[in-house]
Structure 1
Amino acid sequence: MRLIAAKDCHRTRWKNDGGWTTELARDPADDATDFRWRVSIAEIESDGPFSAFPGIARDLLLLEGNGIELDIDDNAPVRLTRRFERVHFNGESRVHCRLLAGPTRDFNVMVRRDALRAEVVARPLVGSMVIFPEPGVEWFVHAFAGHASARGGTGELALETGASLHLDFHGADAGRVLLDGAGELVLVKFAPVAGG
């Protein structure tokens, strides 16, 4: 288990000046290396195109704000207007974003399609939940609101609002992790693809 505090995450301005990205984590951690997966929070301040990421699968969840509308390739526009609504698309797709009424904050997950698939879900935490180990599977847990504690074989960690937890179940001796607390979590499960 690895705790990622909000204060340790780097916030950078977009090249097109349309917003900000705060990277929560990536694997590998080296910025100079192409990532297997990357998790970030985007603050979208103006309409404009998304950057292209060929070979990447993307998931975007609305966290805060009145919503966005996305034109993805030649498909019908997709609107996200409710908190935790999600859209999935390919990184090489042509995507244009329109704000519906003011800026938004959005949770972004990117994975290399030839190596991983990501399952992304937001849910309330009321009491306890258990994450069981699976071979080759990693989890990313973001505390969007409230607080939680995580107990596993390596001890106990506390998550406050804005903090995240990376769970790596690659080890043969990995045991289950118990999450306990009150609030709202965004959970990402990274699982290897066949032959990846």
Structure 2
Amino acid sequence: MKVLRNRDHRRMPWKNGGGETVEIAVFPPSASLETFGWRISMASVATDGPFSIFSGVDRTLSILDGRGMVLEIAGREPVTLTVQDAPLAFPADAATDATLVDGAITDLNVMTRRGAFGHTVERRIIDGATAVTHRGGTLMLLSMGEIRVGSVRLGRLDAMLLEGDVTVAAAEPVAVFLVRIDTAEGF
């Protein structure tokens, strides 16, 4: 298992220059925004505006903090995404505009290169001890509060790349995000 502490995540400007992204993990490890196979990041969104376009990439977005945003994705009806909603998957090369519901938000953004990788994102509440099964590929857990993974303690916005089945425990209900990434053939 590899712990990825929030304080150590890489900070960089958005592709479109409209804000800052916090890169949690990327593959290959030295990949740029143009060459990644997959990428997991967080972003603070303080103003309405367009999303960066990533050609040939699939994206899943989750709201971590804030009141949410309305997404207008080309070819779809507008959708409001909040902290309570399931993660939303859509093509990262579709023109997408965001309108904040009521103030700034922080989101979790998972992207995979179409045809090479696939991914799923699950929001789960940990209350007590819960088993998490690793089914191959890459499995990353992002914590929204204080939890324990085996003997390792994670704080808010800390992440862990898991290498096998684990038990996750929390003294009170805590949301976590489980990101599964595999080769396109694995999906």
Alignment TM class, shorter chain as reference: 0.7 to 0.9
Describe how 1:134-173 pairs up with structure 2 within 5 A: 134-135=135-136, 137-145=137-145, 147-151=146-150, 156-168=151-163
Partners in 2 of 1:144 and 1:70 — Cα distance? 23
Q: TM-score, normalised by structure 2?
A: 0.88
Partner of 1:9: 9
Q: After superposition, what is the alpha-carbon deviation per residue over 1:138-195, rounded to whole angstroms, capped at 9, x for unaligned?
A: 11100112x22223xxxx4221112100124xxxxxx422222242211111133228
- Cα 1:133–1:56 shift into 2, 3 Å: same
SS of residue matched to 2:143: strand
Partners in 2 of 1:17 and 1:56 — Cα distance? 19
Indicate conservation of the 8 Å contact 2:134/2:162, yes or no.
no
Worse-superposed segment, 51-60 or 176-185? 176-185
Indicate conservation of the 8 Å contact 2:140/2:160, yes or no.
yes
Q: TM-score, normalised by structure 1?
A: 0.84
- Cα 1:161–1:81 shift into 2, 3 Å: closer
**Bigger CA radius of gyration:** 1
Given the alignment of the two structures, is residue 194 of structure 1 paired with residue 185 of structure 2, yes or no? yes
Given the alignment of the two structures, is residue 65 of structure 1 paired with residue 60 of structure 2, yes or no? no
Indicate conservation of the 8 Å contact 1:62/1:105, yes or no.
yes
Partner of 1:27: 27
SS of residue matched to 1:93: coil
Partners in 1 of 2:138 and 2:114 — Cα distance? 15
Partners in 1 of 2:70 and 2:59 — Cα distance? 16
Partners in 1 of 2:67 and 2:105 — Cα distance? 7
Describe how 1:27-176 pairs up with structure 2 within 5 A: 27-32=27-32, 34-135=35-136, 137-145=137-145, 147-151=146-150, 156-168=151-163, 175-176=164-165
Which of 149, 155, 180 in structure 1 is aligned with 2:169? Answer: 180
Q: What code does the residue aligned with 1:114 have? A: G
CA-based RMSD of the aligned residues comes to 2.1
- Cα 1:52–1:77 shift into 2, 3 Å: same
Indicate conservation of the 8 Å contact 1:127/1:181, yes or no.
yes
Partners in 2 of 1:191 and 1:139 — Cα distance? 9
- Cα 1:70–1:117 shift into 2, 3 Å: same
- Cα 1:82–1:15 shift into 2, 3 Å: closer
- Cα 1:66–1:28 shift into 2, 3 Å: same
Indicate conservation of the 8 Å contact 2:14/2:52, yes or no.
no
- Cα 1:114–1:4 shift into 2, 3 Å: same
Q: What code does the residue aligned with 1:53 have? A: F
Aligned-residue sequence identity (percent) comes to: 30
SS of residue matched to 1:194: helix
Residues paired across the two proteins, number: 184
